[in-house]
Amino acid sequence: MQAKAMSVSDPILIRVFKKEAELEVWKRDRSGQYALLMTYPVCRWSGQLGPNMKEGDRQTPEGFYTVRVGQMNPNSAYYLSFDLGFPNELDRALGRTGSALMIHGACSSSGCFAMTDDGAAELFVLAREAIKGGQEGFQVQSFPFRMTPKNLAEHRASPHIAFWRNLKEGSDHFETTRRPPKVASCGRRYVFNASPNSPGARFDAGAACPAYTVEAEAAMMVAAKQASDETRIGKIIASGRAAVSYTYLDGSMHPSFREILRRSGPARLQALTSGSVEVSRPETALAEPKVTPAGAMSAWAAGTVQHDPETERLP
The radius of gyration computed from the CA coordinates of the chain, to the nearest angstrom, equals: 20
Contact partners, residue 142, CB within 8 Å, separation at least 6: 15, 16, 18, 60, 61, 62, 63, 64, 65, 84
Cβ atoms of residues 61 and 101 within 8 Å: yes
Give catalytic residues, as residue numbers: 104, 112
Q: How many Cα atoms occupy the beta-carbon half-sphere of 119 within 13 Å?
A: 25
Tell me how far apart the alpha carbons of residues 121 and 224 are, in angstroms, rounded to a whole number: 39
